[in-house]
Amino acid sequence: MANGVNDRAFSAMKAAASDKTFVDLFKIPEETTEETKKDKETWKNFDKALGDFPKDQKRILKKLWVEGGRPLINIVAGYGAKKEGDATYFSDLKASYGGTGMSVDDLAEGKRDTLNISLASPVKDFMAEVSHAFQFRRKHDEDVIPWADRRELMHKRFKKEIEKHGKDVYGKESLIPSKLQTNPDIEINTEKGFLFPTLEGGKDERFIYDPETRLGRGGEKPPIETEAHRIIEDSLWQDYEGKFGREWSKRGSNWRPYSKRWSNVNYEKSIDNLIEKGLVR
Residue 72 φ/ψ, nearest 5 degrees: -65, 145
Residue 4 lies in a domain: no
* Confidence class for position 273, pLDDT limits 50, 70, 90: low
Q: How far apart are the first and last CA of the chain?
A: 21
- Model confidence at 123: pLDDT above 50: yes
Residue 174 lies in a domain: yes
* Confidence class for position 44, pLDDT limits 50, 70, 90: very high
DSSP per position, 72-83: EEEEE-SEEEEE
Residue 53 lies in a domain: yes
Supply the range of the domain harboring residue 184. 11-276
* Confidence class for position 87, pLDDT limits 50, 70, 90: low
Please give the average per-residue pLDDT across 241-259, as a whole number: 58
More confident residue, 44 or 92: 44
What pLDDT, on the 0 to 100 scale, is given for residue 150? 92
133 closest CA partner among 7, 224, 34, 257: 224
Residue 80 φ/ψ, nearest 5 degrees: -105, 130
Residue 1 lies in a domain: no
How many domains does the chain contain in total?
Answer: 1
Report how far apart, in Å, the C-alpha atoms of 100 and of each of 59, 128, 146 are. Answer: 26, 18, 16
pTM: 0.75
Residue 273 φ/ψ, nearest 5 degrees: -65, -40
Residue 237 lies in a domain: yes
What pLDDT, on the 0 to 100 scale, is given for residue 132? 94
Residue 6 lies in a domain: no
Residue 184 lies in a domain: yes
Enter the DSSP assignment of 212: T
